[in-house]
Structure 1
């Protein structure tokens, strides 16, 4: 059977893109122009571009048109880490480590092997963790301005598992969740899996626009808001105390659940009080030790009210049952002996060194950054396409992320995110110099 004519056009354009006859960045005819040139109905021309977009070959940009995408980049959703080729520099994912951490692990394992409680680690643990371990996390949180009892803490398999447990326990498919227009990709993927509707809120200086959130709540039945008030990923902001109080007021007025992601909060010097300290009855606070200690230490924690905690622990029971006893024991021992506190202080210094280097090398470029964060956001000028920059850097053996995994609105800005925490300082310097050269080459 002969295929429809528009299918032939889809195949022809797809072949031209894949062969390089239509190069990345090429602006394609408007829908009306394509319809006129090919003798198609406008709705059919729109369908052609929709199929090409679904194939990952073109992208439509509001107010600009439809462009051929850079297809040499491997598609990914921002949290799907893959093995980099030998010699590839990773400025896409952050897994900050310090010299000597492997020795810390060796010592911790020896100490654990000599303990008298070793056999208990081979058995099931309580779903939220053992009481003394939850108490250790509660004492740790007190140093961050969050005073809670041990019963308000549950241990989870990393912050991502904490977010998943929270969403599965407290939200339902179809619920509307307000988020930043640019947000953590892991929450985007989680929301898609749990069939949540994300309602993007535009940024307003250092934080999203609270007036826009208020307007949204008046017109939609918003169930929750997902926020990163301290060291936002990817925009690095630390919201003010006044902003936090205003958000809490809106949440209370409209009955919103606040999901506070504090994965990078340890990097900020003396930030305002967490939202969970201002509104403990409506906030779930999620963090972990992946960034502050090591990504392989899959231990995180959730702080919530008694009612919410019961629901969260039911989900932990239904999914992971409990955190691994050995990993949890090591993490809590490091909390108690001051190792976590020391590592966090050293990583704050390390992040500042890396940010100072980035500020020096990238001077003159449009940078969104915080002096204590492990990432830099680089919005690109109107004539520069992010996928082309990322592909050019890939050819230079440098992996970066574009804005696509972070965007929650239809408009995806042209920008790249640089993770600074995963390579040695000399490699980072050389890589940042390459980033500057590549971007400058496209801009001028």
Structure 2
């Protein structure tokens, strides 16, 4: 029996053992730990290593085969299917390219999350008769679901009436609703010079322009914002004052007050995206709490609870919430009362808070692993962030480093993904801290990057 075979840790996974094994296979494929073509252990060998019956592993493999994740070849063994070999039907795992260790995207680190969600699904099925399953839900969401949104947002110190809440299908849709409502086609949206990559994509889809506002180590610079308003005539600004994506910068309270004063002075509306910071309660109060009638505050459960729920919330003043709701109704008619009910149950019984605390604890433990493996002085991080920001040494540019990392089997998110305008800026990359359930996958990826940082780029040879 091989000593280096793939063996998952299922000791802390509740429920039937065959489902635990099947889930571990799916997660390993999703993270790149088991790339296409990788051979799975023989069933008897894996059963012995896990301390389960051969029948348990056999059922797990059968379920994974049914989902088109793996395939058996007579006389050779069982192998991970390539994306091109999987049929569209029956596969519940997102189709990913073979990217090795993926340090570019989000993955929840919370153990036992599947069981928490499954138990709630069972409870929601018993409450289905109370939901409007025969018609569309109210445009902004039912009162009980909007009240859950107020409770979730109140954890930040921002108290919002339920009437000022709009339930959306995640924060990404919430951003687009604000953009479509507040910025004319061809208009300008102000944002930090490094911003969430999803906003860049949404502006391209909407046909609006992004204009960069300079930042420093406290976030958007107030004087730069005021100058951009005067020069551009823009009246909407998108920003992430708390755990800025990608840099993790959190704006201090004093600067938030200055930004709020500028919004009042120049008739600005601020779209405040707090989705990446939704688990964090030890933080400055949102800018939106200072100017509730001039802001659209966005949060969700994706980063702190689960990205599969697709539940987001917009909080806005009375003069804005109606227009936002009209836009949302045009796009989606209403949100799903079933997922909103799951979110309300999670929030109402305290489970969401518990998961969020576990999320922060797990992220902090990953950060403790990461920091000693990277050059001191080049890393910016923050408690509760699922990523850190790494500034590259002068000898590296981002393109060369990202390409070298990719060749070494590690995917990263380069500064160009977040850069609004092509201006002179230090090369940097965003690194996610949870590429897989096993912390050694993170350690392996960071070890690879650490060796790259210490080396020199290969000289490019031009042949003419």
TM over 0.5: yes
Q: Which residue of 2 aligns with 1:107?
A: 119
Q: Which residue of 2 aligns with 1:396?
A: 408
Q: Does the Cα contact within 8 Å between 1:231 and 1:267 map onto a contact in 2?
A: no
Q: 1:431 aligns with which of 445, 449, 463?
A: 445
Instruction: Please list every run of 5 or more consecutive structure 1 residues that lacks an aligned counterpart in the other structure.
Output: 1-80
Q: 2:432 aligns with which of 408, 419, 442?
A: 419
Q: Which residue of 1 aligns with 2:219?
A: 207
CA deviations 1:177-200 (Å, max 9, x no partner) are 221110001111111222222121
3-state SS of paired residue (1:281) = helix
TM normalised by structure 2 equals 0.75
Q: Does the Cα contact within 8 Å between 2:360 and 2:383 map onto a contact in 1?
A: no
Which runs of structure 2 are paired with 1:41-190 in the superposition (5 Å)?
A: 83-86=95-98, 88-115=100-127, 117=129, 120-190=132-202
Change beyond 3 A, Cα 1:156–1:228: same
Q: Which moved further from structure 2: 375-384 or 283-292?
A: 375-384
The separation in 1 between residues aligned to 2:131 and 2:288, in whole angstroms, is 36
Question: How much has 1:314 moved relative to structure 2?
Answer: 0.6
Change beyond 3 A, Cα 1:100–1:121: farther
Q: Which residue of 1 aligns with 2:375?
A: 363
Q: Does the Cα contact within 8 Å between 1:183 and 1:406 map onto a contact in 2?
A: yes
The separation in 2 between residues aligned to 1:401 and 1:242, in whole angstroms, is 31
CA deviations 1:71-99 (Å, max 9, x no partner) are xxxxxxxxxx9843457211111121411
Change beyond 3 A, Cα 1:268–1:113: closer
Q: Does the Cα contact within 8 Å between 2:153 and 2:299 map onto a contact in 1?
A: no
TM normalised by structure 1 equals 0.78
Is it true that 1:300 corresponds to 2:306 in the alignment?
Answer: no
3-state SS of paired residue (1:222) = coil
Q: Which residue of 2 aligns with 1:263?
A: 275
Which runs of structure 2 are paired with 1:275-354 in the superposition (5 Å)?
A: 275-354=287-366
Question: How much has 1:365 moved relative to structure 2?
Answer: 5.7
Q: Does the Cα contact within 8 Å between 2:171 and 2:275 map onto a contact in 1?
A: yes
Question: How much has 1:281 moved relative to structure 2?
Answer: 0.8
Question: How much has 1:214 moved relative to structure 2?
Answer: 1.6
Question: How much has 1:416 moved relative to structure 2?
Answer: 1.4
Q: Does the Cα contact within 8 Å between 2:150 and 2:165 map onto a contact in 1?
A: yes
Change beyond 3 A, Cα 1:327–1:215: same
The separation in 2 between residues aligned to 1:83 and 1:414, in whole angstroms, is 30
Question: How much has 1:443 moved relative to structure 2?
Answer: 6.7
Q: Does the Cα contact within 8 Å between 1:173 and 1:196 map onto a contact in 2?
A: yes
3-state SS of paired residue (2:272) = strand
Q: Which residue of 1 aligns with 2:16?
A: none
Q: CA RMSD in A?
A: 1.9
Q: Which residue of 2 aligns with 1:372?
A: 384
Change beyond 3 A, Cα 1:391–1:134: same
Question: How much has 1:119 moved relative to structure 2?
Answer: 5.8
Q: Does the Cα contact within 8 Å between 1:152 and 1:309 map onto a contact in 2?
A: yes
The separation in 1 between residues aligned to 2:123 and 2:406, in whole angstroms, is 43
The separation in 2 between residues aligned to 1:219 and 1:397, in whole angstroms, is 45
3-state SS of paired residue (2:343) = helix
Question: How much has 1:121 moved relative to structure 2?
Answer: 3.2
Q: Which residue of 2 aligns with 1:33?
A: none
Instruction: Please list every run of 5 or more consecutive structure 2 residues that lacks an aligned counterpart in the other structure.
Output: 1-92, 459-464
Q: Does the Cα contact within 8 Å between 1:175 and 1:223 map onto a contact in 2?
A: no
Change beyond 3 A, Cα 1:118–1:109: farther
Q: 1:238 aligns with which of 241, 245, 250?
A: 250
The separation in 2 between residues aligned to 1:87 and 1:402, in whole angstroms, is 15
The separation in 1 between residues aligned to 2:441 and 2:120, in whole angstroms, is 30
CA deviations 1:308-361 (Å, max 9, x no partner) are 111111111111111112111111111101111011111111111111211111
Change beyond 3 A, Cα 1:211–1:116: closer
